[in-house]
Structure 1
Amino acid sequence: MSTSMELWIAPAHGGKMAAALAEYAATLMRGPLAERRRTLWLAPTYAAAADVRQRLVERAAEAPQAALVDPGVTTFAGFASEIVWDAGLRVRPVSAVQRRQLLQRVVNEAMSAGALRFFRRGGSTAGLVSQLADAIAKLKRRDVSPQAFRRQVGGAAPRLRDFAELYRRYEERLRQAGAADAEGLLLAARDCLRADNELGARLELVIVHGFTDFTAAQEQIVALLAGRARRVVATLLGEEGGRGNGDGGRRALFGLPAAAARRLEALAGATRRGVSAEGPALGEKAIHPLPAALAHLERNIFRNYRDVEPVTAAVRESLHRIQIVAASGVQAEIEEIARRVKGLLVAREPPEEIVVVFRRTQEVADRVRRAFDDFGIPLYLDAWPRLGSAPLVRSLLNLLRLHAEDWPYGRLLRAITDRSLRLDLPSRGPRTWPPDASTPDARTAVELCVRHAQLPSGRGELLDLVESWTAADAIDMPVEPPTAQAAQAVLEQMAAWFDEVPPQAAIPMWLEHVERLATAAGLLEPSPRGATNRPARPSPATGATAAGGPDDETARQPWDVLARGLREVAVLERRLGEDGRELLLVELVELLESIAETSSLQPADDAVGRVRVLAAEAARFVRPRRLFVGGLSEQAFSAAESLRNVHDRAAQEDMGGGPADGDPPAPQPQCETMLLFYQLVTRPTESLTLSYPALDAKAQSVPPSPLLTELERAFGDAPPVRTVQPLDYAAAPAGPALSRSDLRRSAVTAALKRKREPLAELVRSPRYGELGRSLLGGIETVAQRSDRTAFGPYEGLFTSDVARALLERRFGSKYLWSPSLLETYAACPFQFLARHVLRLAPAPELALESDLARRGHLLHGTLARLYARLAAAAAGGARPTPAAVAEQFQEALDAVVESHPARGIQRALREIERRQIASWATQFATQHAEYAAACEKIGVPLEARHFEARFGPPSRRSDSTDEAGLSTDEPFQLDVAGETLKFAGRIDRIDVGSVGDATVFNVIDYKTSARARVNLAEMAAGRQLQLPLYALAAAELLLARQRATPLAAGYWSVRGKGFGLDARSGGPLRIGEIKDGRVQLLAGWTTLRQELLGRIAEIVTGIRRGWFPVSSADKECTQFCELSTACRIAQVRSLEKSWTPPAEGV
């Protein structure tokens, strides 16, 4: 058989594809239908091969009585598999998962054997495995064997010697498994072709089309086919016989295919031929005549400036087919692309004829999905998500890690809040208002318990702790027993999921256990016997899961891919003779995470009838009518990218992959980037739109890609039109509204110009009425919040009669008030709304910090025990010194700590708090002595007699902390503006003495802050009501039978100056005095009382009327308030608003 290899070299649109298809179709259809394959078409990708097959089908449909059974269109990988099979060589290809696991095993084995020097510390990292995979692939593409690489490395640096050792071990493992990776399969096919001259001998025509470069094995396969097939044609980009420098003046552009052509000439004796639509002759024309501007672009881009053709009248007339958009940002650029695409679709352009290209689609995938969905564009996005991004896989891996790591805090919270997990939650019945904070839903109950437990990890310890909180008589617990009981049920259910999970097992057994776990957790729905489990899908109404429906196949895909990956690893182990090897749970999780990172999910939809958004590498093989190339910023298709290629090439040559002596110089690295850009911009047949974000997030100018500048220079003094978007482009899009966002923006923009019709039409629209009504609501919100003269419903004021009725009923005559409630409203009514009406509270976080409330309880208990001992000593006539008081302080503190044992991290934090309080012992002893001296100075020795004196109904802590002889369940009743208000509270300490026959007392409230002090102005404003109300409650309720008179009420600052009874400033509130041996109330106290009653009346009225304005006198409130990001008090202050209750409310 005579042989011939031809190189068809032509630029884009040079007719290579048309001529090759004509030749191939004619040869393909000459033989009988059942005859063994006589033709072969090698394409660079499976997508390119599918496109060729489709074109052949279209040609066959035009021919009478034509049929195609096996057109022979494949890739090098597909052809290599066929050759290896035909040769009887049973080499099994390894999948991506198997290859990564094999490499990981090779690295681990080398590490264990001490065979590595450079990577002996970080050898098991995923980064090394990825680096090793890339390095081996590059070496094999250049046909560098492990032995050759080891010889080239010689005594080089340890890093290269380690790579050589790992490469050798990897190839040995592949041979042991009888397997081959993608590059190895090509080398095996080449060896088979060399060994058997009959392989490929019946081929009449071989077409190699779409390549810009070849690996060593690919070139050798083509050369071997050239010696057996009747005719081999390889098409390459380039220019023959053009102007300038003998190569068309674009040597750098076509450097890669030119080098490939030279190698094929040397290997296979290929001859260069021109291309013609009728055959291999010069003068070929494109299948469809291109617009003049696009043809000019193809002929002149990247050409020497002196060789650029002048712009003709025809080019100028069609120059509108090439447009450049300088967008005002990344998001604006993608939205503009979507808008132009939607315009084409509205003009009845077929979606499949529109292609949008980005350098890498993964970087813009989320933005593209949102924008195209907003415009209602059918989309095919060439950005296959990683398996690890699937919710099912994320939830399953988190569960396995949760079990393997013994329920760590963060993972447990993620599991609890994961709505993919099916928890058998008890029903709370119908929703009521106000919300019942004492019995939250089960998920919230678990989260509260986990957060309050503050355990870094420990399943058993957590379950025991929550169980201890379920007791009705439990004290000092952070949650109520009903909450703990609900949490306990859920936590025990989760614990049951893991009961059957073994500590180690072989992969087939692990697959069964993982599937059972996923089913128990609700990630997979149980299926009938023999059927595959189906992933559960959430119910839109309840959030529960249900199986079935049209989305089952898509929902099942993540589990199928994960299970397939496990089975592939099991097959690999069987081939390596390690069948049945057991993995620990931690090893299984690492394996699953590796599979999730290596594997991808296929898109749910194909590209038929959809606009394709492709990566640049994939788009170089398509030929659409309309092409958009986006993201052409300075870093895309730039010199920086070429520099990365330089480094990559240097590393490759460092590892023995450089050109041999005597080889022609390799093409410059920028050739690859230029060629890719050239292929992209020459693909469309009707129009080309190029865009880039001209501004960054700070509105600073960003230059475009230098290749875009080269494209403009190809048109000399008549470059394509450049559209520069204004900064307010997103707020006021030009042209008709083509998306939901356009409708919204255009309606609001028109309304701002007092044109109400577009917004009115939007509200009345059956399709977009809800959108229009939401806009009206937003406009009303902004308008009311911008009113400088008054507060409105969007700043905390309730105007609904129903809401007011609910508030009046809840905070009615039977409501038990507390001083702290009133103080909260006086300080910030909006904070009162959040905390005490809506019952919002920040979730506690796992933190190594002291709990001020817990420390306060510990201090209170310590002082109560201390004064009980001091009272007993005083009864015996003893008067302890400050040193003795300090010692007894320490003993009392230790006794309190021992009586309330803590667990886990709480034990450590309790110890820190104990040490903090212990450090105050000496200071407190001094304060105690000073207080006693001050009492003697005024002639009234006061005795610390009552601690934690309660008035009002008891709580869970009452039995252990209340003063048994003084506390009462009866609330304190206060006549305020003709209404009796009921108060509940707990007084830290009451010191009692006598003046003659009269009983006097001081009210003391302990504070650990050194800055706590009485402020009469704060009292009058209602922000310090606790002391005067406690004094009233003690006099009129707790000590009413003794007709006791208050002398003072104040803060005892343990870290400051104590009670400060004799202080000239900053001391307690003075209520009574002793004059001439008699006790009398100060005139100022009577006046202050009347002021306080009036302020309390205002506060209660405001609460009942629903007045909760965003108003705080504390200018620094946003620094510590958890609501600072929600209240927007900065806007209120910027408008200089001041809250004054309406006249109707007083």
Structure 2
Amino acid sequence: MAVYRAYRNSLRERGLLDPRAVNAHIAERIDEGALPAAIGGARELHVYSIASPRTRRRILAALARQEEVEVHLYLPLEAEPDPYFDALADRTEIIGAPGSGSPEDGRPRGGGRVGGAGPVQVQPVPDAAREMAWVARRVKEVLASGRAAPHEVAIVARSGRDNTHRAYRALRRAGVPATARIRTPLDEVPALRALLLVLRGAGRNWDYRSLRALLAHPYFDTRVDLRSIDAIAALRRVVGLESWTGALEQLRPLVENKAREVRGRGLFLDRVEKDIEAFGALREVLDPLADARSEADWIDLTLALLGEDRGLFRLRRRVCDPVEERWEVVRSDQRGILLLERLLREWRELDHPDDPLPPAGWHALLGKLLQANELVLSTPGQKGVQVLEAHDAALVPFAHTFVVHANDREFPRAGGATGVFTDTERRRLAALGLPLAHRDETLRRERGLWRAVTQQAGPVCISYRTTDAGGTPLLPSLMVPSHEDAAELPRIRRPSDELDPVTPAEADRRAAFAIHRALGVPDPTERPRIAPARPERVARAIVAAAAEIHRGPGLERYPGFLLPAPAPGPGRAVHPAFRPNPWNGHLRDPDVIRELERRFHDDYRWSAGQLEAYARSPFTFLVERVLWLEGVEEAEEETTPLTFGSVAHEILERFYAEFMERLPVALEASVEHRLAEISDEVCAERAEKGEWLGVASLWEQTREGIVAAVRNYIEWELGHMARKGECPIETEVGFGFDDERAMLAGTDIRGRAARLRICGRIDRLDRDAGGTGVFHVLDYKSGKPPPAPRFDDATALQGVLYAQVMADRGYAMGSCRYRSIRSPGSPLNGGLVRFGEERYERALTMALSIPARVRAGCFEAVVSRKGDWWSWDPPREVRRSDAQLAEGHRFDDFGDVAGG
């Protein structure tokens, strides 16, 4: 008590007041005789809506002691005794009929509703959204029938954080006037969340995600283009504002020289130069946030960031701009900033430790302050249906009352142990007269609050949820009267013809479902009559539904549902989602076709990777190679498989180029020593060029893994070639680059003459044993080599194309094959295809068919039979299909264009 007394005296000296002691201060003023002056000299004081004494014991005792003013305290006629109010029994008068009360004590029997004569309806609902929609419908029915005025209807929730938000929005969507007091934690106010975003970025030393979140935030006008930051992040991981500045400077020559690394990213030199200038201005604001400082200095800096001179990146100006007339967001932002400034100024007046606090520590501390304080805003107008918290609705009469979220542990709310005392210790201290609450008293108060809300003369509707957002079953409150569980609303949202739509969304859903039912009838006798609230939305829904049917193979699982059942046997009709069609990647606009013909002309330089990408997934090819769209991704912390393969390939290329003329039969000590030197040289050169190889600590481990894998591969291959009598004769054979024209000619899958210009690099060309003059194309793979059947639908093409290029140069080709660096000898020769065999010729024919199909605009979202959808493909919500060919290939299908 001495410590608490000293604390209060310290606040009084500073002119401050602990909000928790407001009732105690009022009681002191009443004891000092200040009550008559406070109420303007009135002789009587009537006090309403106190359902429980809680923290008001001292002020009520002071009112009882004073004699200048006659005080009338109106209490609910309770079924459970309250020890404090029972002490006032000699001065208690029951107003109105005692109902079912006992004549002995004047108190009703039982623990249910008291004093209210209105009927009670209990409605179980599947979830919060369905609950609010049901309440909005019932409220609108009451108002439309004239049974009550809007202000005579109340929606009551125990908590005001979530439920009042939901109820108010549901009423507004239904066109019902409403008023509410909306509680929002300060850390959920958009403008203050933006401030926390800046401090979090400083605490994380401005990694890519935190910097991008700042630059993309609508509240901050930084004038830095995200494309530059995204391009840098895709190349390497950058941390720190100084490093980002250097990365932007390094980006300038890449854009100027049109380097391969930034091709297709929409970067222009003038824009990058503006970004460099804007980023310099950005650093002037953000650099001071990087230093550790005392708590008081952090408060001063935060106040400066919120300053009246338009604030951080003109924050104060931008929060005044509404989005789609949502002025409540503007009010919330402005009031939230003002409230935070007041809290910070009060905090600044306290004593603070001098220890320096890092940015991450200040971000955490400020976050706790914002989380612990609320912004309470009343909706404009103050008229309409009352959306209230339970303590505001207690003992207030309404013509119709709706109690929502009446679930166990929600209303009544179960109190948890707080402070240093256990519940048993609290009971003992309360028995000694200290004003401490314990669990039984808390639950009794909650039950009293329930009765104070529900004892209404008019009808009372109580709703509770049977599941939470994750599908976990929920129980009703113990205070909910007995009812039929079967009364729960249906879990499937299906519009009913018996109920009129309440919101525009319901009217649109009802119209769409009427069309759906009509389409399900084989021979409808009449067209459905619909009355959508927004016809344009229903029209778009019809188009979207047609598109989904033609590009989503999911309907194949339900034969006959909106589509005729597929005919049995091998000749059955193919679902439209497996073919190019206007809804599934078939581009038919003449201007688009002309652009495709211009870009992918007969002299267009193809690579084996491009052809394989199209053969596996034309839609992915459209997104990545035609539209040049890329996901916003950051470079991996670990070395990517692409980098692993690139480094390993270069080591192998240098090794065999050096030892080709004097190929050792085994990995002798001197050869192994030279291999180690080559490996060190390759890795050092990659690091010197600034290539992103992964986080430094991880790269050291990965580097050892690459060197070991290459060493093991060479050790195995030297022995294998010695046994077979094979030897490499060329490495890194490039063709089709610069002005060289490497053309493949033949016929496509339809028997038409076709040509294909191609470029690439062959990892190695080997010669057969005994100088027979038969050569083999070899391609290294860091992972698993493609099996030979992948050539059957062009999912794999590289080996065949490379072998044909060398054959056209006069080499007597024997085969194409792959070998795994990580798994030497397993398989011995993966994807082996012999020159001139049927599989070889068919793969070459399919490759020659791809350019014409691209120029015809065929980009269906269907993966090849031997391929698969990969994690880096456009996600399902973009491609809208998981279709995969079950047999054959796609190259004889040009959609609805006859003959291609």
What one-letter code is carried by the residue in structure 2 that aligns with 1:174?
L
Aligned to 2:344: 566
Q: 1:693 to 1:599 in 2, by over 3 A?
A: closer
Q: Deviation string for 1:543-577 (max 9, x for gaps)? A: xxxx999986665333322223222323x33xx6x
Pick one of 498, 508, 512 that aligns with 2:304: 512
Q: 1:921 to 1:495 in 2, by over 3 A?
A: same
Alpha-carbon contact 1:361-1:614 (below 8 Å) kept: yes
User: The residue matched to 1:900 in structure 2 has which SS?
Assistant: helix
What one-letter code is carried by the residue in structure 2 that aligns with 1:1054?
I
Aligned to 1:458: 240
Alpha-carbon contact 1:747-1:758 (below 8 Å) kept: no
* Distance in 2 between residues matched to 1:853 and 1:646, nearest whole Å: 55
CA drift at 1:477 = 7.7
User: The residue matched to 2:602 in structure 1 has which SS?
Assistant: coil
Aligned residues: 846
* Distance in 1 between residues matched to 2:335 and 2:372, nearest whole Å: 15
Aligned to 1:978: 753
What one-letter code is carried by the residue in structure 1 that aligns with 2:145?
A
* Distance in 1 between residues matched to 2:97 and 2:447, nearest whole Å: 25
Verify: 1:1047 aligned to 2:822, yes or no. no
What one-letter code is carried by the residue in structure 1 that aligns with 2:404?
G
Map residues 730-749 of structure 1 onto 2, 5 A cutoff.
730-732=494-496, 734-749=498-513
Pick one of 834, 855, 875 that aligns with 1:1104: 855
Aligned to 1:71: none
Q: 1:600 to 1:644 in 2, by over 3 A?
A: closer
Aligned to 2:167: 368
Map residues 345-494 of structure 1 onto 2, 5 A cutoff.
345-348=143-146, 349-365=148-164, 367-368=166-167, 370-424=169-223, 442-455=225-238, 457-472=239-254, 478-480=261-263, 483=267, 486=271, 489-490=274-275, 493-494=278-279
Q: Deviation string for 1:991-1023 (max 9, x for gaps)? A: 469998x966432211122x31551x3223212
CA drift at 1:478 = 4.5
Q: 1:816 to 1:705 in 2, by over 3 A?
A: same
Alpha-carbon contact 2:101-2:108 (below 8 Å) kept: no
Pick one of 220, 229, 241 that aligns with 2:68: 229
CA drift at 1:1029 = 0.9
Verify: 1:889 aligned to 2:675, yes or no. yes
Q: Which moved more, 1:302-311 or 1:375-384?
A: 302-311
Q: 1:776 to 1:331 in 2, by over 3 A?
A: same
Alpha-carbon contact 2:205-2:240 (below 8 Å) kept: yes
User: The residue matched to 1:775 in structure 2 has which SS?
Assistant: helix
Verify: 1:777 aligned to 2:563, yes or no. no
Aligned to 1:279: none
TM score, norm. by length of structure 2: 0.81
Aligned to 1:707: 479
Aligned to 1:83: none
Alpha-carbon contact 1:1051-1:1068 (below 8 Å) kept: yes
Verify: 1:618 aligned to 2:392, yes or no. yes
Aligned to 2:846: 1095
What one-letter code is carried by the residue in structure 2 that aligns with 1:1012?
P
What one-letter code is carried by the residue in structure 2 that aligns with 1:735?
L
Pick one of 1126, 1129, 1141 that aligns with 2:877: 1126
Q: Deviation string for 1:250-270 (max 9, x for gaps)? A: 3x2xx23xx2333446xxxx6
Q: Deviation string for 1:894-913 (max 9, x for gaps)? A: 00111121579543343233
* Distance in 1 between residues matched to 2:471 and 2:160, nearest whole Å: 24
* Distance in 2 between residues matched to 1:344 and 1:626, nearest whole Å: 8
* Distance in 2 between residues matched to 1:794 and 1:975, nearest whole Å: 33
* Distance in 2 between residues matched to 1:310 and 1:415, nearest whole Å: 57
% of aligned pairs identical?
Answer: 19
Q: 1:837 to 1:934 in 2, by over 3 A?
A: farther
CA drift at 1:855 = 1.2
Aligned to 2:403: 629
What one-letter code is carried by the residue in structure 2 that aligns with 1:778?
A
Aligned to 1:537: 321
Map residues 641-720 of structure 1 onto 2, 5 A cutoff.
641-642=413-414, 644=416, 651=423, 653-654=425-426, 657-660=429-432, 669-683=442-456, 685-694=457-466, 703-709=475-481
CA drift at 1:1130 = 7.3
Q: Deviation string for 1:785-812 (max 9, x for gaps)? A: 4455332433333454454444333323
Alpha-carbon contact 2:154-2:402 (below 8 Å) kept: yes
TM score, norm. by length of structure 1: 0.65
Map residues 78-477 of structure 1 onto 2, 5 A cutoff.
146-147=1-2, 167=4, 170-171=7-8, 173-194=10-31, 204-214=43-53, 218-219=57-58, 222-223=61-62, 226-238=65-77, 250=79, 252=80, 255-256=81-82, 259-264=83-88, 271-275=91-95, 304=109, 322-348=120-146, 349-365=148-164, 367-368=166-167, 370-424=169-223, 442-455=225-238, 457-472=239-254
Q: Which moved more, 1:370-379 or 1:1111-1120?
A: 1111-1120
Alpha-carbon contact 1:952-1:970 (below 8 Å) kept: yes
Alpha-carbon contact 1:226-1:232 (below 8 Å) kept: no
Aligned to 2:696: 907
* Distance in 1 between residues matched to 2:458 and 2:502, nearest whole Å: 23
Q: Deviation string for 1:817-838 (max 9, x for gaps)? A: 2222222222233333333234
User: The residue matched to 1:524 in structure 2 has which SS?
Assistant: helix
What one-letter code is carried by the residue in structure 2 that aligns with 1:890?
A
Aligned to 2:796: 1024
What one-letter code is carried by the residue in structure 1 that aligns with 2:702?
E
User: The residue matched to 1:229 in structure 2 has which SS?
Assistant: coil
Pick one of 728, 732, 738 that aligns with 1:947: 732
Alpha-carbon contact 2:800-2:844 (below 8 Å) kept: no
Q: Deviation string for 1:204-245 (max 9, x for gaps)? A: 223233223335774456446643315222222237xxxxxx
CA drift at 1:491 = 6.3
Q: Deviation string for 1:680-725 (max 9, x for gaps)? A: 1124x44322222346679897553221226x7xxxxxx9x99542
Q: 1:490 to 1:565 in 2, by over 3 A?
A: farther
* Distance in 2 between residues matched to 1:517 and 1:1002, nearest whole Å: 73
CA RMSD of aligned residues (A): 4.7
Verify: 1:988 aligned to 2:763, yes or no. yes
Q: 1:310 to 1:1091 in 2, by over 3 A?
A: closer
User: The residue matched to 2:401 in structure 1 has which SS?
Assistant: strand
Alpha-carbon contact 2:636-2:694 (below 8 Å) kept: no
Alpha-carbon contact 1:632-1:691 (below 8 Å) kept: yes
* Distance in 1 between residues matched to 2:714 and 2:332, nearest whole Å: 73
Gaps of 5+ in 1: 1-145, 148-164, 240-249, 276-282, 286-294, 426-441, 526-533, 541-546, 713-718, 954-967, 1072-1083
What one-letter code is carried by the residue in structure 2 that aligns with 1:691?
S
Alpha-carbon contact 1:463-1:492 (below 8 Å) kept: no
* Distance in 1 between residues matched to 2:834 and 2:392, nearest whole Å: 84
CA drift at 1:203 = 5.3
* Distance in 2 between residues matched to 1:454 and 1:307, nearest whole Å: 64
Q: Deviation string for 1:1061-1097 (max 9, x for gaps)? A: xx6x7474333xxxxxxxxxxxx34x55542343224
Gaps of 5+ in 2: 556-562, 567-573
Aligned to 1:751: 515
CA drift at 1:754 = 2.2
User: The residue matched to 1:946 in structure 2 has which SS?
Assistant: strand
Aligned to 1:110: none
Q: 1:562 to 1:518 in 2, by over 3 A?
A: farther
Q: Deviation string for 1:61-110 (max 9, x for gaps)? A: xxxxxxxxxxxxxxxxxxxxxxxxxxxxxxxxxxxxxxxxxxxxxxxxxx
Q: 1:353 to 1:1118 in 2, by over 3 A?
A: farther
Alpha-carbon contact 1:174-1:180 (below 8 Å) kept: yes
